[in-house]
Structure 1
């Protein structure tokens, strides 16, 4: 039996993901309207995809009429709904791949209208969008690589990207192995520092950037990836983890997590092996660059040791703990997002 068939899970899943939807920029009243008719989690992808198609159609009408801002914002909203449609470990993985492609394409069309300077940046094991701030110094803008988590993608963290752009930082939001548009053709990669390194390689020589000032932000499982990159990639000058794991205990993980990892890794054995490698115990003391660990006090996921341990063991780390914050702190955006964006802007100078 799939975790989607768990009795009573539907209302709990809707409630649990409401802050995540808020953090991703979805309208919560519309979220309520989309989720209210659901009778099973199996219906989730179709309902959210329908919302994405409505916004895409609205964008296409506006674009045809020359209403560029409306078209661009509607394409961006469509990307968010298409991404949210694929959050579940749904058995139809081909449909999930189509949703990721729809989200990616909608974001491409949004950026083409709203930010013509945005560029597609892709290479071995990653694909993403580079966005530049409206103003940058003569040396060019510092760059922050944004890394998503287990079931996330580059289309989710618009609010974070906007906060960084507003402070003069360029943003490269990527999908890596097992994420977003790459989920159908690759498995999650614990050695994600190689992915970040290749992304930094791809930025070399691009106009308006200062490759001597770079940082990484990782969210959820991406927090582990960011910490791994912080330990191994010498070109990074700062790192932030948001709701990242310190280590995983497979036998303690909830079925939603184990089923998602099993699908993305390809088998239960591969998923167990992946989880066993998510452990910062030995690595934490080697992370010497400035590190901000952002945690929510209400973020308690069975089988996951939170990254608060990382803050105490990395020699140049700071902890930003928001007592009422949940996983990804969608319940507490004002309490961590401005501070985190300012912290990065200061460290990258």
Structure 2
């Protein structure tokens, strides 16, 4: 894929994650080749770090650190990106942002996860935000912010092969074992889950196994993967995150909710974009149909992750999830 094509394909995802569209266009239109992607995005992130150091107030500094974290995260997306370095930069910048903007935020870590617990210390409900194949806890600011505004605590996490843990671990299909460790560490009896992209599979798989899940929302989550039909760029990303092509093929074979969907017995909301068409990926409608209490929200003009249609799903999804776990 050309750099212009990759930038266009990633545009709504970047804007949905909070990158300024004008800055995004300035950065991407100057790229001569896709190999320059990570360097350019890291440079943009460091410019925001410099702005944070010169900021006149802690709030301005924190906001610049937060934006820097987003740029560093998006540096990881190109096929040949040095994603380990960029992910570490994103993690550090987000930590500096929260130290200024949300000093009560707590870093919680375990053998297979790391993340930030945010929100009021007296919040009675907690939602875990689960990223996907090449996303991380630094990407879904809009989702986290929408939930925080509704009074729930939010744990935004990286799991195996994701974000800050990409350098030391690989993706795994039995994600419920990781979420179980997270719930133990949070010290709560019940949680809500929202998973985005491959994270949608992760949270549905977890809801089928973990009785402490009170409600689950998936956004652009796959119901099934067919390795042979996946586009080569998706296969390449899977191979990098799984630790090789054979491991990626085996991982994809296990991403199939056919037998697990009926075991998701709690409230379930499945959100899909009608323009989200990836060869080899079956979208979430069968999950909503087979789960006993599944609901389906299809946004016809939405693309993958629905960054081009947030008003059509995010407020309603945040309301639904916050209401179901209270």
Task: State the TM-score, normalized to the length of structure 2.
Answer: 0.98
1:11 aligns with 2:37: no
**Residue matched to 1:76:** 66
Q: State the alpha-carbon separation in 2 of the partners of residues 267 and 155 from structure 1.
A: 25
Shift of 1:296: 0.5
Q: State the alpha-carbon separation in 2 of the partners of residues 219 and 348 from structure 1.
A: 19
**Residue matched to 1:173:** 156
1:162 aligns with 2:145: yes
Shift of 1:88: 2.0
- 4+ runs of 1 displaced by more than 3 Å? none
1:119 aligns with 2:106: yes
**Residue matched to 1:190:** 173
- Kept in 1, the 8 Å contact 2:4–2:29? The answer is no
1:132 aligns with 2:119: yes
Q: State the alpha-carbon separation in 1 of the partners of residues 299 and 323 from structure 2.
A: 21
Aligned pairs (5 A) from 1:205-284: 211-284=188-261
Shift of 1:201: 0.5
Equivalent pairs counted in the alignment come to 326
Q: State the alpha-carbon separation in 2 of the partners of residues 201 and 232 from structure 1.
A: 15
- 1:262 match: secondary structure: helix
Q: Which runs of 5+ in 2 are unaligned?
A: none
Q: State the alpha-carbon separation in 1 of the partners of residues 136 and 42 from structure 2.
A: 16
Q: Which runs of 5+ in 1 are unaligned?
A: 1-5, 205-210
1:310 aligns with 2:287: yes
Q: State the alpha-carbon separation in 1 of the partners of residues 110 and 135 from structure 2.
A: 19
Shift of 1:264: 1.3
2:52 to 44, 59, 62: 59
- 2:168 match: secondary structure: coil
- Kept in 2, the 8 Å contact 1:88–1:260? The answer is no
Task: State the TM-score, normalized to the length of structure 1.
Answer: 0.92
1:21 aligns with 2:14: yes
Shift of 1:263: 1.1
Shift of 1:96: 1.8
Q: State the alpha-carbon separation in 1 of the partners of residues 149 and 244 from structure 2.
A: 42
Shift of 1:212: 3.6
Q: State the alpha-carbon separation in 1 of the partners of residues 264 and 190 from structure 2.
A: 17
**Residue matched to 1:108:** 95
Q: State the alpha-carbon separation in 1 of the partners of residues 152 and 58 from structure 2.
A: 25
Q: State the alpha-carbon separation in 2 of the partners of residues 88 and 200 from structure 1.
A: 33
Q: State the alpha-carbon separation in 1 of the partners of residues 101 and 243 from structure 2.
A: 38
Shift of 1:166: 0.1
Residue deviations 1:135-162 (CA, integer Å, cap 9, x gap): 84xxx43000000000000000000000
Q: State the alpha-carbon separation in 2 of the partners of residues 240 and 131 from structure 1.
A: 19
